[in-house]
Structure 1
Amino acid sequence: MAAQTLRTAGLVLALSAALVACGRGGDGDQPPERGDVAVARVDGRTVWTSDVKREAVAQGLIGEGEPLDPSSDLFRRVLDEVVDQKLLAAEALKRKLDKDPVAQRRLAAARDRILGDMLVEDVVADAVTENNIRGLYEEQQKLAKRSEEIRARQIVLATAADAEAVKKLLAAGASFEALAMERSRDAATRFNGGDLGYFTTDVMPEAYDTALKDAKVGQIVGPFAVETGFALVKVEDRRLEQPITLEAARPQIVRFLTYDRIRDLLEKLRGKAKIETLVKPQEGAPQAPPPADAPKAKGTPS
């Protein structure tokens, strides 16, 4: 549903832009962007590579800045849609639909949205730079608290007696991994030798936290009761929690910088403007929540 809505919005904006362009009397033959290539002409009006890419982005078919091969099937499909948009816009002008008052208001709204989007893109481009991304990442790494991680393996048995029997086999030199694969009843870990990977104890059930709190590397702890039986756990490593990499943090940082800059821009614009709201909200009506990716407080990405 969201993708369809986005695509519909993109088509409306594209048609509106096409109507405005038609009203100016043509698109001209000069490339609108450096290196742009003409890919079609519709009644003498040129369609450029950038027109097709912009439509593909509007439909969510590619991301902003991603390449789109002119020889690809996707490019041809979107090109056909751009051609259709120009034909529809031209026919609408012939029928003088652009003179209708409702159409004028819709065109004006589309123009406002396009210009607003262009301003946002311009402002965000200044904010979301590699230096700003790296700077915020390094700042957050300095403030981040790193917990201790444990890497461990486990064998889960049905009863305490079964667990004690396996513990004796381990003490006699049996392989922990082999016994985990052979006897553990924990389906999530038995087939990889009981490997739990690295974890912090706060994400594990309390029984693990208690048992592993003071365990040394190489030590086998247990058996202790867990939800599915009795566990034997071997501690294989302890280390400080590894920091998130820049590339993993990049999308969140970009969102934060984007929202932060747009919020500052809107606060300044609203501070200068005279805004009168002529409708009153209903009493007790819930307020719209902020976007999920929007930071709650300036200075820390959430």
Structure 2
Amino acid sequence: MNIGKPRAYGLAVVLVLTLLVAACGRNKADERPPEPGDTAVARVDGHTVWASDVKREAVAQGLISEGEPLDIGSDLFRQRLDEVVDQKLLAAEALKQKLDKDPVAQRRLAAARERILGDMLVESVVEKAVNENAIRGLYAEQQKLSKRSEEIRARQILVGSQADAEAVKKLLTAGASFDALAMERSTDPATRFNGGDLGYFTVDVMPPAYAVALKDAQKGALVGPFQTEGGWAVLRVEDKRLEEPITLEAARPQIVRFLTYDQVRDLLEKLRGGAKVEMLTGKPQDVPGAPQEPASAPPGAAADQAPSSDLDDAPPASAPAQAPAKK
């Protein structure tokens, strides 16, 4: 083993158990590629290690995403390959010492087998249900229900006193250049060098004084002066528009997480409804029969069971959360 390398031994133990499960009953002569186009990358005592084995380990460690390519010439691939080889050696030695016959090992192997089978079932169900049509369908539903807020683009000149602000407004009313006055008189270092431009925003994200002043302001209007935490402000409304809806590609990861959780929840409700489950210790935390988040559920899935309505103001169970960034 590469003793000098730091290892996640929790993952290592899981991998050893998985390899022991796979090793039990394996036909050594059967060394066909597990996936079409798979590449043999190592052989350990006659057993082939495939590129897909290494990639699966990288996915399990959270180093790459499911479906993301992994170059067999990369350092990441080589490091994971070393780990897979090490774990195969550990698993083979465990079998040689007949550790798989130990009662504790049998229980852990059975648990590992159940988890693997459960994961495969979930993957199968999700792969069929969470498809492009389902993703586009939920996205279209979100867009129908969504409420688009009004965005305002404004410029500001910030000065130290009300009298200075009144003087600035008088000059602007007389036709003075906003850009020139912002550069000359504004005390706001963030905007004075770009003509006081605040960009596009919705009033709900602005300080209360700005929200009140801009509430009914029309395009082209001079607003103020009004007092803010940083001084006295004079604004000019440059433009007003409806905010852009979130794109399908931006919403896709959240939609996929939500649909995945929805499928896992429905599957568990169905399985629990058809099984006799008796809790022999403690008191149930939830309504009897209500499923808990499964080990097979994707990371963060539970957070999507009651998504935010920011995307479309739909009832919580209808859409995933989102928080689009303003441009």
Secondary structure of the corresponding residue to residue 248 of structure 1: helix
Measure how far apart 1:19 and its partner are. Answer: 0.9
Query: Aligned equivalents of 2:10 and 2:124: distance in 1?
Result: 21
Q: Which runs of 5+ in 2 are unaligned?
A: 1-7, 286-291, 294-300, 308-315, 322-327
Q: 1 or 2, which has the higher helix percentage?
A: 1
Q: Indicate the residue corresponding to 1:229 in structure 2.
A: 231
**Pairwise CA distance, 1:257:** 0.5
Distance 2:284 2:252 in 1: 40
Alignment counterpart, residue 198 of structure 2, candidates 196, 199, 210: 196
Q: Which residue of 1 aligns with 2:5?
A: none
Residue 89 (structure 2) aligns with:
87
Equivalent pair of 1:259/1:295 in contact (CA under 8 Å) = no
SS of residue paired to 2:318: coil
The two structures have a TM-score, normalised by structure 2, of: 0.83
Paired residue for 2:313?
Answer: none
1:247 and 2:258 correspond: no
Structure 1 residue 301 corresponds to structure 2 residue 320: yes
Aligned pairs, number: 293
| Residue number in structure 2 paired with 1:115 | 117
Q: Report the alpha carbon displacement of residue 214 of structure 1 after superposing the two structures with TM.
A: 2.3
* 1:33 alignment partner in structure 2: 35
* 2:132 maps to 1:130: yes
Report SS of the residue matched to 1:236.
Answer: strand
Of residues 150-159 and 171-180 in structure 1, the stretch that sits farther from structure 2 once superposed is 171-180
> Pick from 265, 285, 303: which aligns with 1:292?
303
Q: Percent identity?
A: 71
> Could you report, residue by residue, the CA deviation over 1:239-285 in whole angstroms, capped at 9, with x for unpaired residues?
112111111111111111011111100100000010000112399xx
Counterpart contact for 2:21–2:112, Cα < 8 Å: no
Distance 1:102 1:263 in 2: 31
Deviation at 1:26, TM superposition (A): 4.6
Confirm or deny: 8 A CA contact 1:155 1:231 kept in the other structure.
yes
Residues in 2 aligned to 1:171 and 1:55: alpha-carbon distance in whole angstroms: 67
1:1-302 correspondence to structure 2 within 5 Å: 8=9, 10-26=11-27, 28-281=30-283, 291-295=302-306, 297-302=316-321
- 8 Å CA contact 1:159–1:229 kept in 2: the answer is yes
Deviation, 1:183, is 3.2
Q: Is the deviation greater in 65-74 or in 161-170?
A: 161-170
Q: Is the 8 A contact 2:209 2:228 kept in 1?
A: yes
> Which moved further from structure 2: 195-204 or 95-104?
195-204
Deviation at 1:22, TM superposition (A): 2.3
CA distances 1:80-108 after superposition (whole Å, capped 9, x unpaired): 11000100101111111111111111111
Which secondary structure does the structure 2 equivalent of 1:298 belong to? helix
- Following the alignment from structure 1 to structure 2, what is the Cα–Cα distance between the partners of residues 47 and 235? 65
5+ residue gaps in structure 1?
A: 1-6
Q: Distance in 2 between matches of 1:205 and 1:269?
A: 51
Q: Please state whether the residue corresponding to 1:102 is helix, strand or coil.
A: helix
| Residues 229/141 of structure 1: CA separation in 2 closer, same or farther (3 Å cut) | same
Q: Is the 8 A contact 2:156 2:234 kept in 1?
A: yes
CA contact (8 A) 2:305 2:317 kept: no
- Residue 310 of structure 2: aligned partner: none
Q: 1:150 to 1:251 in 2, by over 3 A?
A: same
2:130 aligned partner, one-letter code: V
Alpha-carbon distance in 2 for matches of 1:114, 1:265: 16
User: TM-score, normalization: structure 1?
Assistant: 0.90
Distance across 1 between alignment mates of 2:186 and 2:147: 35
What is the rounded CA distance, in whole Å, between the counterparts of 2:104 and 2:195 in structure 1? 69
Contact 1:224 1:231 in 2 (8 A): yes
Which secondary structure state, in structure 2, belongs to the residue aligned with residue 65 of structure 1? coil
| Structure 1 residue 186 displacement after superposition | 3.0
Report the RMSD for the aligned CA atoms in angstroms. 2.2
> How far 1:23 moved relative to its partner?
2.2
Q: After TM superposition, where is structure 1 displaced by more than 6 Å over at least 4 residues in a row?
A: none
Q: How much has 1:135 moved relative to structure 2?
A: 0.8
